[in-house]
Structure formats: C-alpha cells, structure tokens
Amino acid sequence: MTTLDVAVIGAGIHGASAAYHLANRGVRVAVFDRGMPAGGPTGRSSAVCRAYYTNEFLACAARDSIRMMANFRELTGADSGYRRTGALFLHPPQDREQVEVAVEQLTELEITTELLEPAEIARRFSHFDLNGIGLGAWEADAGYADPAGTTLGLFNKAVELGAEPRLRRAVTGIEPQPSGAILVTSDDTRTLADRVLIAAGPWTGPLALQVGAKLPLTVERHIVGTFRWAGAEPMPLHADIVGGYYFKPEGQELFLVGPLHAAAHADPDDYPEHIGEGEIAELSRAVVRRVPQLSKAEVHGGWASLYDVSPDWMPVIGEIAPNIFVDAGTSGHGFKLAPALGAHVAAMVMGEHVPGLEQFDPDRFQVAQTLSAGYGDARILG
C-alpha cells in the first residue's frame, strides 16, 4: 500500500493550488480526480479576477492571487491568461455606507479601488443607463484569466515538484485511521495518507459524509451566456448589483454574462449543461436595460456549470475529522481566490495556524456564526 504525507481529492483550481503549495514545501502529495485537471466546474468558470470583497481575508487572498497570475510564468512556467482590464461595480443608493467602508478597507490593503459618483460614471462610461444606480466602485487591477490554463499550470508545476497525479480514478471510499485515512479508488487501489484534503467542489459533501461530517453544502446550476459584439461598442468588465448580472469581455469578439443571485439546486452528475433560450433572453434583457447600445450584440451561445454553495456563501475550510480537511463551498468565488488561498490551505493541512482562516471553519454553522457576504441578493460579490 502506498503511503503519502497528503492526499488531495480534486484537481480543480483549489486542489491543484493546494498540491502546488504542498509540493513546493517538499511534502509527499498525490492528487486524485475522477477526471482531469479543470475537468469539472473550474474549466467552465468565467474566471473573473477581482479583489472587491467585503471580507478582509478574502480580499487579500484575491489580491495575492491576481499578483500570482500576473507573474504566473515566473512561478510555474505556464501562462495564466491574465488580462488586466479593471472592473466597475454598480450599486443602488442603499449600498453607499457599505461601499464607502469597503473602498476604504481595500485601499488600506493595497487594492486600488475608487468610489465613483454617478456623474463620474457617466463621464467615463457614457453608454450606461444609470437609472437606479446611486454610486459605483472601480477596481483598477481587476481582470480575467484562463481557468483551465491556470489550473494546469499549477497542477503541472506541482507534478514537476514531486506531486503524484492519480487522474481518472474516482475516490469511492475514505476510511479514517488513527492517523489520516485510507483512500479507496475506482480501480480498487488503496492508499494510506497521513492527511487528506477534500477539494472536490460539488462532490465534496458525499465524501465528507464518509468521515462523519455532514456539511451544509448545496449544489446550484449557474448559467453563462455568450454574445458577439457585432455592431455594439465594447464595454468594460462590470457587475450590476441592481440588474443582477456580471459582464466580462472574452477576447476581441465575445463577451460573457452571468447572474449574481442564487439559482436552482442541481444534481452534479445529472443537470442540463446547455443554456436555454429563455435563460439567455433573460440575461440579454438585463444587460440591454443597463447598456442600451448592446441591443446590437448577437447571441453566440452559452453553458451551465455548478457552484457548491454554503449557507452564507462563504468558503468552508477546516478540519472535519482528525487529519482530514475540506476546502469547498466557495459559492462562485472559487477561481479568483484559489492560487494564493492554496498556500493558506497547505499550511493548515500541515498543522500550522493561519490567522483569519478559522472564520471559515465548517463548525460555524452549528454555532450560528455565519459570515456576512455580498450586497443584498448579490451574494456572489462576497
């Protein structure tokens, strides 16, 4: 039986990042996945990169992740696809006090963020219809990246540093031991690991249950619509809290749109992966209300993916059984946090105290210590 220091279950962006940081420490680590790196929700991420968070720890993790992706080739030898575009966040008047506090905090954290009054938004971005908008915020270093390329870069660098890939082998059993656990995979291989990290996204809940941890995670189906600019003028990366959508340029020809609110629950092994005509029409109406000239754009397509969602829309990170840990419930935040968050998760798995990480402990739901998140129904903004 093979023996490992750490077994990581999941080769999405969180598992790949944790493996990279563990291997960088010289830890004997293997990564197990039912498929290939970024083969699940990670590969379908919109991959927006922004540090515009109300939670200080997450803001710092996102800030550091953006810096990692900007210097990705030096760190991993690969291209993250990071593009710095800046991002605009449009708020209703009732968000003013919260936004002012957030902008001040982000500035102190060296996240260049500027509060914009409606007149200034109109001056800089004349195509927006600002009906219902009371103020905005501009994050200068925000942008987007390549979710698959970033994940593969971290994963391949982890392998180069000594991590062992165990791909196309689903973990079917976790048997707790006095120290760590035995993992059983779909090919009947048994592996003893001193520590286990479950970072399996929508499939985390059933795996955690095998070690006696009932995590309050749900799985939601979230859509992304894709459009061609056609005769429309390109618009910046932005999130419309009033309209309930986020908007991201995709290369030179396309842009993506997705919702900011909660969605219907889904079976991660059986859900509609294609976007429906009604769904893309609803996204189109929201965008055109805010940016009328985008009525010239043309529908290109879209897809649906999955979020693993916690009750407060904040990550679930911590020890769930002796030497068995979880990093899940990222609720649509996952990609932008993972590259740097993986260093904190790796430290936690190796028994180190990480200041601030304890707020995401799975036990918080049992003692009614949920975290605040987002603005109104726009929980995905964190």
Here the CATH number for the domain that contains residue 271 is 3.30.9.10
To the nearest 10°, report the CA torsion of 149, 154, 157, 159: -110
* 52 belongs to a structural domain: yes
To the nearest 10°, report the CA torsion of 101, 60, 81, 153: -160
Q: Which domain holds residue 42?
A: 2-61+147-216+312-381
pLDDT, tens only, 54-75: 999 999 999 999 999 999 999 9
- The reply to whether 223 and 305 lie within a common domain is yes
pLDDT, tens only, 323-370: 999 999 998 888 999 999 999 999 999 999 999 999 999 999 988 788
42 pLDDT higher than 90? yes
* 77 belongs to a structural domain: no
* 119 belongs to a structural domain: yes
pLDDT, tens only, 209-242: 999 999 999 999 999 999 999 999 999 999 999 9
Q: How far is CA 321 from the centre of its chain?
A: 25
Q: Which one of 250, 275, 309 terminates a domain?
A: 309
- The reply to whether 249 and 305 lie within a common domain is yes
- Report the distance separating Cα 240 and Cα 377, nearest Å: 12
* 345 belongs to a structural domain: yes
The token pair that represents 176 in the structure block: 């707790």
pLDDT, tens only, 162-191: 999 999 999 999 999 988 899 999 999 999
The token pair that represents 268 in the structure block: 């991660």
The CATH code of the domain that includes 157 is 3.50.50.60
Q: Which one of 309, 334, 358 terminates a domain?
A: 309
Over the range 341-372, which residues count as b (16 or more CB within 10 Å of their CB) and which as e?
bbbbbbbbbeeeeeeebebbbbebeeeeeebe
Q: Which one of 309, 337, 367 terminates a domain?
A: 309
Q: Are the C-beta atoms of residues 157 and 20 closer than 8 Å to each other?
A: yes
Q: How far is CA 90 from the centre of its chain?
A: 21
> Torsion-angle region of residue 161: left (phi > 0), alpha (psi -120 to 50) or beta?
alpha
| The pLDDT of residue 295 | 97
DSSP 124: H
